A = this chain, B = another copy of it.
Amino acid sequence: LNGFSRLNLIIDAMGGDFAPDEIIKGAIEGCSLYGAELTLVGDKEIIKNCSEKNNFSLDEARIINSTDTVFMDDSPSDVLKYKKNSPVYLASEYASKIENSAFLSAGNTGAAMACALFNMRKIEGVFRPAIAIVIPLGSRKFVLIDGGANTEVKPVYLQQFAIMGKVYCREILKVKDPRIGLLNIGSEEKKGNEITRESYKLLKETKINFVGNVEGRDIFEGAADVVVCDGFTGNILLKAIEGMAGFFFGEIKKVFLSNFITKVSSLILKKYFKSMKKQFDYEEYGGALLLGINGIAIISHGSSGAKAIKNAVRVARDSVNNNLISKISSEIKG
């Protein structure tokens, strides 16, 4: 194990559009590939039936049985209050108790965040955990933080998002001295709203490589390695990027299907567009990290397939191996 500690992956096996099949498949593959111990949390019967049906080997996996079911429209507070026997609650609780663990869920995002926060707690000194998500852009990428955890923010929150995003980008994406940009509607310091103006001042004085304001356009031109914003704007942006990518690839398909000639040409170009499409694949990074939590908590996309989960295991392993949490902790303390 190259001197590293073995990761303990604790996964909500029932969360996600393609649970449990794709979740369990990805978890088994990922843990085998990245040398991690697997704990599946969910309805034991369902997990066993699913594994038999798919010929998954559960020999190396621990199963924690759950009796409550979390639905996509359950409110996070209801899950915390009334569904303490749900996979998402039990998985985050278990993750908080053992070493070198990571909690992973592709289910109800709000519930996963609430359970992670409640059971795993915050890193000391962190005001608000935030969602850090890697946006792949062809040969480039950037980290967006906050992707949706905090709809209301203060400048000091954004300052911490910048610090946590920096550590994540440096330790996991291996970018030396990441360039941090503040998402705003103009490049000048005084642009934007009260929050961004105050945040700009704070970020200038923070120990980060602050490149100033970045606009919606700039982020696609590689203006920053880490893009800092409130969770409302970040979530709108995140989903817009996803929606627009889907829309574009749909339009390209339409072009290909125009007539006989375009269909023939498309046969030749297909593999090139396929590899282009792959460069926008959010599954490459497996999910978003909830930074600021005192442990590794990964929130995967609801539509995650086995590949996303497998890659999330890689991110979890890298986070544990690089002591992400203790590095964030010491940078937050300053």
Contact = CB atoms under 8 A, between A and B. Distances in A.
Interface of A: 73, 137-138, 148, 151-152, 183, 185, 188, 192-194, 196, 215-221, 229, 231-233, 235-248, 251-252, 254-255, 258, 261-262, 265-266, 268-269, 272-273, 276, 279
Nearest to A197: B151
A25 B268 CA distance: 42
A223 B185 CA distance: 25
A229 B138 CA distance: 30
Nearest to A242: B217
Q: Is the interface of A mostly helix, strand, loop or mixed?
A: helix
A244 B243 contact: no
B247 A220 contact: yes
A170 B90 CA distance: 52
A266 to B, nearest CB: 8
Could you say which of A138, A217, A219, A235 has the most chain B C-beta atoms within 10 Å of its C-beta?
A: A217
Contacts of A239: 185, 215-217
A243 B255 contact: no
Contact of A240 (B152, B217, B276): B217
Contacts of A218: 243
Closest 3 CB pairs of A and B: A216-B239, A216-B240, A220-B243
A324 B255 CA distance: 37
A231 B191 CA distance: 12
B243 A240 contact: no
Given A220-B246, A247-B220, A261 B252 contact: no
A246 B221 CA distance: 9
A138 B248 CA distance: 9
A152 B73 contact: no
Contact of A269 (B152, B216, B242, B255): B255
Given A185-B148, A251-B138, A269-B265, A193 B232 contact: yes
Given A196-B232, A217-B240, 17 more contacts: A138-B247, A151-B185, A185-B231, A193-B232, A216-B241, A216-B243, A217-B243, A217-B246, A220-B244, A229-B236, A236-B237, A251-B276, A251-B279, A255-B269, A255-B276, A262-B268, A265-B265
